[in-house]
Amino acid sequence: MQAHLQFIRYFLGFVIISLAAYQISVFLQKKWKFPLITGLILIGIIAGNSFLHYLTDEAIEKLDFVLEISLSVIAFSAGAELHLDGLRSRFKSIKWMTIGQLVVTFVVSSLAIYYFSDIVPFMKNMTFLERLGVAMLFGTIFVARSPSSAVAIINEMRAYGPFTKTVMGVTVIKDVLVILLFSAVFTFMKNVSLGDDIDALFFILLIIEIFVSVLLGFIYGKLIEVILKLKANINVKSVITVLAGYSIYLLGHFLYARTEHIFRHPFEIEPLLTAIVAAFYVVNYTPFRFEFEEILERSLPLILVMFFTLTGATLSVQTLLSVIELALLFFLLRIFTLMLGGVFGVFMAGDPKKYYTVAWMPYITQAGVAVGLAALVGTAFPGWGHAFETIIIAIIVINQIVGPPLFKWALNFVHESHKKPKSLSPSEDGKRAVIFSLDNLSLALANKLKHKNLDVKIITTQKNNSANEIKIETIDDYTPLFLKNIDFKNIDTAILLHPDDRTNFRIAEFIYEHTPVKNIIAKVNSARFLNDLKRMKVKILEPMSALVNMLEHTVRSPVGMELLLSEEENTDTIDVTVKNPDLVGAQIRDLKLPHDVIILSLKRRNNTVLPHGYTRLRKGDILTVLGKPESLNQIALKFEGE
């Protein structure tokens, strides 16, 4: 009983420290652009034995399960990024860059560290095989990257293009292969440390262990699919999914103990590999990809806060200071090997020559996977593992500071960044639209929008025009030189109706890159610029397809189309954004909406969701609602009130 009470005390104290670490780290990030992960690790160091002694060695040992839960969710997150559909178009470049970054970085860095092992204090008295094993562990972790950091930077820079797509593909695949490689090297090192022979039997058992880990991954993928099928609250599913991830480690411990007892030789699975395969199965072979990603999005932030705080608490300041010079040397070694790998990948793939300069820059930043692998080494090898972990953490901190700026510079260098100016922000006080081109269609649309109480104006190059009450602005040409003189600050929607597709594309590109306009609609007559417009999140209106689709829906659902196409004054549709904090987390069936309104669709993070009564609202959800004007006004006030 006393042991249970002590465990609860340790755990509650750790939760409080983790929450405080998060708040402090967020403050440092906002105030001085300090990396969040670095802040969490530093607060963990302060709370640990080096300073305040809030997290003692005994407490850290009792909290070992937090590490295993965190690693399983981190592996789920890495596997969930591996979308097969997104890799096919750049497969050749992704393949060669992955080989370059994986093989070149691993081989060169491992050989270099082995050659200079005499300067690493804990490697001096090791045998040949032990030095080789440690060098390969360093080389393996040097390859690891951070998918979450890459996604965050790409989203911040609004980047797209062949270089960006290659980076994402390589980043995700590398983390999967790193865990596979780490499993082999980690097993090799454990056998060496125990004095076991490295013979043919060792490699046969290693292959069997990896095969069983992959097979278990598919089994766990089916288990998660069953969990996601449950008619339960998303929070309940999140907890069950996280526990399923933790059960992989429990199963691994059970198999290790039983096989060692029965066969006098332990059989080990690799939980990280199992978790990655499970997530890969869910996102590629089940219909629950978006719900699984939402669960990870909900679970990962809290888990990472606890994970990095606990990791920091295990570090010693004295050890950290003693290895800082070594960490800087290894950081430079890693940069050098990344450069070599980048040059190899660009050359073999036949990518543009300008990529030679920057191909290595996106792969510097490291986070969860690298820290997790280092923590496993620290736990498995008490004699030298903590010194190894400390060096890796120091390198990761440097990577966190250096990596993001270089990645952003690379995106700008290859002209795939489309970041909006910081000084601009979209209007919050009304619906305003601008229509490009002046003809019967644009005038009819402008009048319709004005009739619906929208502020609308037309931009045209035609001189001497007039159109009753519609605002018309004349410019000399649809080029950036003249488009920059238009005031887009309060515009919500841009509608591009010019008969020339090239002109519409040119206008869309300018609006996307230089204005705060979120909603861009373009009429296109051919497929020439279709893919480029889609990458810019432009909503495409292809006249013939739109007419055919409308007629098809009219035949299949005449009542629904009658509502949507009605010219009567008593029906309308609007988009409302969930901003009211009182509605966040509420189920649609509990909203008590007016009886004459219908929710047609829900858009969440650019994904369209078909809502039902049990759908829970989240902040930022965009609902398309059909109903009477007075009821729609009530809905707008209810949802957007803050």
The DSSP element (H or E) to which 520 belongs, if any, is strand 519-523
User: In this structure, what CATH number is given to the domain that contains residue 460?
Assistant: 3.40.50.720
Can you tell me the distance from the alpha carbon of 332 to that of 319, in angstroms, rounded to the nearest whole number?
A: 20
Cβ atoms 273, 210 nearer than 8 A: yes
Cβ atoms 412, 46 nearer than 8 A: no
609: nearest Cα among 626, 593, 621: 621
User: Is the residue at 559 inside a domain?
Assistant: no
Cβ atoms 499, 437 nearer than 8 A: yes
Cβ atoms 48, 17 nearer than 8 A: no
503, 523, 541 - which closes a domain: 541
Residue type, 444: A
Q: What distance lies between CA 469 and its chain's CA centroid?
A: 47
Can you tell me the distance from the alpha carbon of 98 to that of 476, in angstroms, rounded to the nearest whole number?
A: 49
Which value, to the nearest 10 degrees, does the dihedral of the CA atoms of residues 167, 169, 172, 177 take?
A: -110
User: Is the residue at 551 inside a domain?
Assistant: no
Place of tokens 């009477």: 628
Assess whether 334 and 436 both reside in one domain.
Answer: no
The whole-number pLDDT of residue 227 equals 92
Assess whether 164 and 271 both reside in one domain.
Answer: yes
In order, the DSSP letters of 331-400 are HHHHHHHHHHHHHHHHHHHT--TTHHHHTTGGG----HHHHHHHHHHHHH-TTTHHHHHHHHHHHHHHHH
Assess whether 402 and 439 both reside in one domain.
Answer: no
Residue 504 neighbours by CB under 8 Å, 6+ apart: 436, 496, 497, 498, 522, 523, 524, 529, 533
Assess whether 349 and 260 both reside in one domain.
Answer: yes
The whole-number pLDDT of residue 428 equals 44
Residue type, 435: I
Residue 454 neighbours by CB under 8 Å, 6+ apart: 431, 432, 433
The DSSP element (H or E) to which 594 belongs, if any, is none
479, 506, 541 - which closes a domain: 541
Sign of torsion over alpha carbons 483, 484, 486, 491: positive
Assess whether 467 and 373 both reside in one domain.
Answer: no
The whole-number pLDDT of residue 423 equals 44
Can you tell me the distance from the alpha carbon of 271 to that of 251, in angstroms, rounded to the nearest whole number?
A: 9
Place of tokens 């903590």: 386
User: Is the residue at 241 inside a domain?
Assistant: yes
User: Is the residue at 34 inside a domain?
Assistant: yes
Can you tell me the distance from the alpha carbon of 577 to that of 628, in angstroms, rounded to the nearest whole number?
A: 18
Cβ atoms 530, 503 nearer than 8 A: no
Can you tell me the distance from the alpha carbon of 342 to that of 330, in angstroms, rounded to the nearest whole number?
A: 18
Assess whether 81 and 206 both reside in one domain.
Answer: yes
The DSSP element (H or E) to which 625 belongs, if any, is strand 622-627
User: Is the residue at 555 inside a domain?
Assistant: no
C-alpha dist (Å) from residue 588 to 110, 298, 584, 618, 622: 56, 20, 10, 11, 13
Residue type, 109: S
User: In this structure, what CATH number is given to the domain that contains residue 574?
Assistant: 3.30.70.1450
Assess whether 580 and 531 both reside in one domain.
Answer: no
If DSSP states are collapsed to H, E and C, what string results for 148-210?
HHHHHHHHHHCCCCHHHHHHHHHHHHHHHHHHHHHHHHHHHHHHHHHCCCCCHHHHHHHHHHH
Quote the domain boundaries for residue 537: 432-541
- Structurally, the chain folds into a number of domains equal to 3
Can you tell me the distance from the alpha carbon of 131 to that of 141, in angstroms, rounded to the nearest whole number?
A: 16
The whole-number pLDDT of residue 338 equals 92
Helices (H) then strands (E): counts for the chain? 25, 10
Assess whether 492 and 387 both reside in one domain.
Answer: no
Assess whether 534 and 616 both reside in one domain.
Answer: no
The DSSP element (H or E) to which 599 belongs, if any, is strand 598-604
What are phi and psi for residue 520, nearest 5 degrees?
A: -120, 130
C-alpha dist (Å) from residue 459 to 12, 58, 493, 521: 61, 70, 13, 15
Assess whether 180 and 129 both reside in one domain.
Answer: yes
Q: SS3 of 35, please?
A: coil
The whole-number pLDDT of residue 261 equals 79
User: Is the residue at 426 inside a domain?
Assistant: no
Residue type, 405: P
- Count CB atoms within 10 A of the CB of residue 220: 25
- Report residues of the chain scoring pLDDT below 70: 1, 83-90, 148, 151, 155-156, 158, 194-200, 418-430, 464-468, 544-570, 582, 589-590, 592, 595-596, 606, 613-614, 634, 637, 640-642
- pTM for this one? 0.64
User: Is the residue at 624 inside a domain?
Assistant: yes
299: nearest Cα among 244, 373, 239, 250: 239
The whole-number pLDDT of residue 131 equals 92
User: Is the residue at 183 inside a domain?
Assistant: yes
Can you tell me the distance from the alpha carbon of 105 to that of 140, in angstroms, rounded to the nearest whole number?
A: 8
Can you tell me the distance from the alpha carbon of 208 to that of 518, in angstroms, rounded to the nearest whole number?
A: 52
67: nearest Cα among 368, 417, 278: 368
Q: How do 598-604 and 493-496 pair as beta strands?
A: unpaired
Assess whether 227 and 310 both reside in one domain.
Answer: yes
Assess whether 203 and 107 both reside in one domain.
Answer: yes
User: In this structure, what CATH number is given to the domain that contains residue 400?
Assistant: 1.20.1530.20
Can you tell me the distance from the alpha carbon of 193 to that of 205, in angstroms, rounded to the nearest whole number?
A: 17
What are phi and psi for residue 523, nearest 5 degrees?
A: -85, 130
Can you tell me the distance from the alpha carbon of 638 to that of 597, in angstroms, rounded to the nearest whole number?
A: 13
